[in-house]
Chain A
Amino acid sequence: MKKIYTPLSQSSIKSLKAGDEVLLSGVIYTARDLAHQQMLNKIVKGKRPPIPLKGQVIYYCGPTTAPKKRVIGSCGPTTSSRMDAFTPALLRAGLLGMIGKGSRDSSVKEAIRRHRAVYFLAIGGAGALLASKVKECRVVAYKEFGPEAIYELKVDDFPLIVGIDSRGGDIFRLCQKGG
């Protein structure tokens, strides 16, 4: 299985193909609907978003509270398509990777291809197992949003499948009859 590290670069993800299984290590940032909306508002106004975007990976995730003696609670992916409207602008701003579940619309696919980025799938509904791969977790922005805040996660061998590769190859096109 391929191992990849954040921050990503176009050359480090060039060889990834839709359907490849990879283990990701390094820092990733969680962001859901509300955080995306806020970040986009900043970008549109020409202001800096609260996290660095260049070469970074955003994880569509709102974790449960960390129980005692644990780094994080359950932390699986949420439905990516809800973020579709915000994604092309973030890719334009330098974002190179996203992690979520489910398919993306054509504008996202096109933006991924244009910016040579990558979209990964994590197993939906396996949030407990994924929590065991998170080594550090801290809130870095929008603390008031609770589970919708932006958390900086340090992950180690986080198991992913390439959903859409930098050439626009889409796993859902490859895997499904008529889906």
Chain B
Amino acid sequence: MRTVYAKDITKTVAGLCVLANVRLREDVHKALFSALAKETNARAKSILKALLDNAAYAWENKLALCQDTGLPYVFIELGQEVSIRGGDLISAINKGIERGYKQGSLRNSVIRHPLKRDSGSCFSPGIVHVDITRGDHVNLAVLPKGFGSENKSAAVMLKPTAGLEKIVEFVIKSVKEAGANACPPFVIGVGIGGGFDQAALLAKKALLRPIGRKNRDKVLARLEKRLLKQINGLGIGPMGLGGKTTSLGVNILTSPTHIAGLPVAVNISCHVLRSASKRL
């Protein structure tokens, strides 16, 4: 067994919360650059340029890229040969979120009770997903999820015989409904399979994969390419003001499912897709 101390998890999560919020992900940065090169609409170009300027200014001044510093998601791959000492895992993570959000002057956007919204907002708890893996490593990934785009996410339980066309139709419909309100150009996470909950979780996890890294599954790689092309043909564009840059990337994750169903979930991210990870 390898020992990992709760205080080190707290420290790591705190650092990742700040990093994710002030430094634009490298793949997103690259995607914005290449979109700027390809874009022909003058207004779209000037908005894309402003987004790159924003990323540079945020990093230089250690300022949050966006005032919505998100609902903090933490994904952990916990090696089964790891023993955590000095506190429990979930408290260590939430302490890290509290510390990081305070240190980074990030926004307290968490409401403790969804209906009693009168007690003011706070930094934590975040949403924590733990996967038990082989070995003795701990992988921590923090994804602060902006809610303007989260609000436009959707799931559907398709018929098992629906096939690719119905999946494409649902993804396109979701992107159209997100329109100008969810800060395009989007990164689209799609989860297919599992149950109702699993499809949504896959869609969220798909956002962690770097944009432009090819899907190893050939069928999915083709579907991602097709969806991206179709979405960029919608004409929504940056800020919803037209252009061919409506999405920077489409990432799909799948999982086994039931013979009677085909769950599909679409998690929309704004162009400020943030995450940071570290291996302990």
| Chain A interfacial positions (CB closer than 8 Å to B) | 34, 61-67, 70, 73-76, 78-81, 101-103, 121, 123-129, 131-132, 144-148, 161, 171-172, 175-179
Contacts and interface: CB of A to CB of B under 8 A. Distances in A.
A161 B109 contact: no
Given A62-B67, A102-B240, A124-B183, 10 more contacts: A63-B107, A64-B105, A64-B107, A73-B67, A76-B66, A127-B66, A128-B58, A131-B63, A147-B109, A179-B180
A123 B67 contact: no
B242 A74 contact: no
Nearest to A102: B181
A153 to B, nearest CB: 12
A79 B177 CA distance: 14
B170 to A, nearest CB: 18
A123 B55 CA distance: 13
Interface in B8-66: 43, 47, 50-51, 53-54, 57-58, 61-66
A23 to B, nearest CB: 14
Contacts of A101: 148, 180-181, 183, 239
Contact of A103 (B105, B117, B181, B242): B181
B151 to A, nearest CB: 7
B21 to A, nearest CB: 9
Given A64-B105, A129-B57, A103 B235 contact: no
10 contacts: A34-B117, A65-B106, A73-B63, A76-B68, A79-B182, A125-B270, A127-B54, A132-B57, A145-B121, A171-B241
Interface string B172-208: 0000100111110000000000000000000000000
Interface residues of B, number: 45
A65 B235 contact: no
B68 A78 contact: yes
Contact of A64 (B69, B181, B270): B69
B108 interface: yes
Interface in B53-111: 53-54, 57-58, 61-69, 105-109
B106 A64 contact: yes
B120 interface: yes
Contacts of A75: 67
Contact of B63 (A34, A74, A171): A74
Which of the listed residues A80, A125, A161 has the most CB atoms from chain B within 10 Å of its own CB?
A: A125
Given A103-B179, A179-B235, A79 B148 contact: yes
Contact of A66 (B105, B235, B237, B272): B105
A147 B107 contact: yes
Nearest to A121: B239
A10 to B, nearest CB: 26
B155 to A, nearest CB: 20
B234 interface: yes
Contacts of A127: 54, 64-68
A125 B180 contact: no
A62 to B, nearest CB: 6
B236 interface: yes
A73 B107 contact: yes
B145 interface: no
Contacts of A78: 67-68, 148
